[in-house]
Amino acid sequence: MYKLQICNALTQEILREKTYKKPDLILSLLESGAKGQECFLFDEKRRTLKGNYVSHSVFTEADTQVYKAFFKVKLSEIQARIAKKASKGGALQ
């Protein structure tokens, strides 16, 4: 498994943590950021953030490879609408 931790470079706060089966999406985000592209990120409160890549580190935690990515972030002027996960009954929460 692969885990991405998106962190605020100024405060070191983990804004979002997500686990993936493959590293493809993580590596794509890191590559885009390293090329200087502004990244649109989402925190655990579903807010849209604009982020400029600063650095990242990789370490192993149990059987998971963890990518800790640091971005200078600010709240985006445009907030994306993110659907909440469906409950067991199938209705949106």
pLDDT by residue (tens digit) across 43-76? 888 889 999 999 999 999 999 999 999 999 998 8
65 vs 1: CA distance, rounded Å = 7
At position 84, the amino acid (one-letter code) is: K
User: Structurally, how many domains does the chain consist of?
Assistant: 1
What is the residue-averaged pLDDT of the chain? 89
Q: What is the pTM of this model?
A: 0.82
87 lies in some domain: no
81 lies in some domain: no
What domain range includes position 65? 2-75
27 lies in some domain: yes
91 lies in some domain: no
28 lies in some domain: yes
Note every long-range contact of 9-17, with CB atoms under 8 Å and residues 24 or more positions apart, other chains counting: 9/54, 9/55, 9/70, 9/71, 9/72, 9/73, 10/72, 15/41, 15/43, 15/44, 15/49, 15/73, 16/41, 16/42, 16/43, 16/44, 17/44
What average pLDDT does range 18-32 have in this prediction? 95
